[in-house]
Amino acid sequence: MGFSRAELESFRDAVVPDLLPRDDQPLRLLFVGINPGLWTAATQTHFAHPGNRFYPALLRAGILTEPVDQAAGMSEDDRDALRRRGIGITNVVARATARADELTASELREGGERLRRLVSRRQPRVVAVAGVTAYRAAFAERRATVGEQPERWGDSRVFVVPNPSGLNAHETVDSLASAYAEAARAAGILEP
């Protein structure tokens, strides 16, 4: 599946719904992106850009057992596989842009407040925010580093994990898988 630049631009400011287990099912691990990209909005699949390493890293880590062709859009079976394991995906900011640097500081802060409300309501064991720069801006934690954060959000442990975007060139599928596996072990998705 491919899109022209004009087709992708038509998805600017679109919203991609959260992927969450039903309210009566436990949410063990909540992955949080910065905001949807245009490809994500076009396919209604989080982390969908063909160069994004999110799903390959989840597979390498053992969080997923079957590959996901994110660029073509997730199937309902793919979504259900995540939900059954207690895994959800959301974003700090809901609106789609071509690049995360198009977001304003106030959008990131407001998105951070919305995320905290979601976490308070759903109470995941672990929140894994993908991207330390966005985490710092959204939560006024200028000194935050990748890894588990000292502050919990209610009973939820908070991790900052590397951004899987292809623009984050110093990360590999292996290094991403290692960081995601650490959060998944803390959430009880993977064995310690």
| Topology annotation, domain 5-187 | Uracil-DNA Glycosylase, subunit E (3.40.470)
Mean pLDDT, to the nearest integer, of 29-41?
96
Q: Where are the domains of the chain?
A: 5-187
| Distance in angstroms (rounded) separating the CA atoms of residues 8 and 6 | 5
**What confidence tens digit (pLDDT) does each residue in 116-153 have?**
999 999 999 999 999 998 899 899 999 999 999 999 99
Helix axes 173-187, 54-61, angle to 10 degrees: 60
- For residue 14, give both structure tokens: 């679109």
DSSP states along 101-125: GGS-HHHHHHHHHHHHHHHHHH--S
β 147-148/157-161 pair status = antiparallel
pLDDT confidence of 45, banded at 50, 70, 90? very high
Prediction pTM value: 0.95
